[in-house]
Structure 1
């Protein structure tokens, strides 16, 4: 495997990142894992990735305890962006046999398929728990926050309607967000205006789909065959992303802006996507050398206590490209999480 010589440092850093995520961060929106929204959702999804790589039962127990302690908080958070934590429920059911996880997952799956707001094209509208509305807007985030869950639910239940919905959403998001000139993705699409708003080629938006796509397709293997358009667009995306990787191995927070700051979480997500896609045969081994550069750069961003630095704050579609460069950086569960996914993947 590509990172055999780095195994010990990868294990050490991954464990430090994971342990930092479990600490009591009450009152710290970015790092507090004990609430229900997309931020802790990315956290628990990544911890599940770490569990599947390490196989340590205490990691699974942390996830089970988290789900038992926080599930009641989901009752008033039924929006697309807060679906992320449910992505661990199919695995919790498989591992524990507790029907609560299956029943809850099926209930949420039905809500997404039958009730969640959609745009005129049929894409899931990006709804959030915050006091903000983005009518008829499509954001790249949705693929990781909701569509991954649908794919896992399909694999668990054998219900192909979830699989078909997952593929349709993936196809729609790629088609609506992909820049036909460069091949990379814009942050969002406004269906009413028919434009990409500020038209920012935001790195973390690309990361959600870069890493989410192979995770989804792996779940759907032997259930449904993905449309060739999905495979083609994803390949174009991943090869195009390499055009914007900086010499330091990272991507800037808006990737085509050479004077913007480098951003760790998006870079980790893109590199994890490259590795996952290579592992399941979507991409060739030419992707490995750029990933090695990113892994080394990300390792340098992990402090001794496991805190991942250089992670931009929660970011809606900003009114201008320049505004993205003013988003402050601070530690977060999603920064820790995307980094942990990369490290877990590099350890495979």
Structure 2
């Protein structure tokens, strides 16, 4: 993920300030803190110092993803810059960031394109998770309530009452889900983010039962469309479409986190384990994760999702890393007979 050979590669260049490297560094942080890998935390501190100037003047939802590091880095270092910058970004989210007529955060991106009054599932992971982490750090009730409100709004607007799955987006102007695709990675972003949002905000305020209930409905619906090999198809209810690795990892990791946090019962561990089994063969010996679809806006048709190119990307690497990290908490999911090189020095390690 941090190799210099990736420089200039949209999917794998970690040295810019947007959602793609954002998911990558969030994942590195989870791995570093879970395993006590000080070198990883040191790298993240260097990464922020090197790239923080690129964030100046860029205020869109997708560019907020790296700020999810800041509450944790403040806890680890005591550097008040992380706290003050996080509070500045949170204030922008609450006071200035564009909203839809329902009050949901409008999904905005760094590319020169607008999606007026559109709600995307991606927002919950890219921005709301950060808000919840800051609320957990500071004990700020307003931040916690805002994070829960945004999460619940997104679930209400995106959840299909017929299946329990999530649509990729909602157009508030048209009152439609546009192409109405039940896109796998959209479902993964929310499946993965909600356990963390609930864990952080529940320290400060009560979590609405509707949020927990909708999440359980989503999780139950997802396991109904899981493939026999443990993976999910890029459009969840289209088993003739290709299976997608990053979404499969995100959903499975979300299940593990939700079981740990009490949102889901232990039966979901079986689904997560099945996904893990399906993903392991897709990790090459050099660490590259295969089968990851490229950046995907709300597409004009359901068929267009199946045409999205697949290539290595930091969010794919990262979501698989998060799944492997979370699996460390569940020894029965580990497979000690499988080993892979874990670092650039070629030192081998056990693959969970």
For Structure 1 versus Structure 2, the TM-score category normalised by the shorter chain is over 0.9
d(CA) in 2 for partners of 1:292, 1:130: 37
The answer to whether the Cα contact below 8 Å between 1:253 and 1:263 also exists between their aligned partners in 2 is yes
Q: CA deviation at 1:221?
A: 2.6
Matches within 5 A, 1:1-348: 21-24=1-4, 25-348=6-329
List per-residue Cα deviations over 1:65-89 (Å, max 9, x = no partner).
1011111100132101110000001
d(CA) in 2 for partners of 1:295, 1:169: 30
d(CA) in 1 for partners of 2:63, 2:205: 26
Higher RCO (CA < 8 A, seq sep 6+): 1
d(CA) in 1 for partners of 2:112, 2:48: 25
User: Which consecutive residues of structure 2, in runs of 5 or more, have no partner in the other structure?
Assistant: 330-352
List per-residue Cα deviations over 1:267-318 (Å, max 9, x = no partner).
0000001110001111111111111110011111100000000000000000
Give the structure with the larger helix fraction.
Answer: 1
Q: Tell me how many residue pairs correspond in the alignment.
A: 328
Pairwise CA RMSD: 0.7
d(CA) in 2 for partners of 1:157, 1:287: 32
List per-residue Cα deviations over 1:310-330 (Å, max 9, x = no partner).
000000000000000000000
The answer to whether the Cα contact below 8 Å between 2:136 and 2:203 also exists between their aligned partners in 1 is no
List per-residue Cα deviations over 1:114-173 (Å, max 9, x = no partner).
100000000000000001100000000000000000011111222111101000000000
d(CA) in 1 for partners of 2:209, 2:84: 33
TM-score (structure 1 length as normaliser): 0.93
d(CA) in 2 for partners of 1:203, 1:229: 22
d(CA) in 2 for partners of 1:216, 1:222: 10
The answer to whether the Cα contact below 8 Å between 2:19 and 2:63 also exists between their aligned partners in 1 is yes
The answer to whether the Cα contact below 8 Å between 1:37 and 1:77 also exists between their aligned partners in 2 is no
User: Which consecutive residues of structure 1, in runs of 5 or more, have no partner in the other structure?
Assistant: 1-20
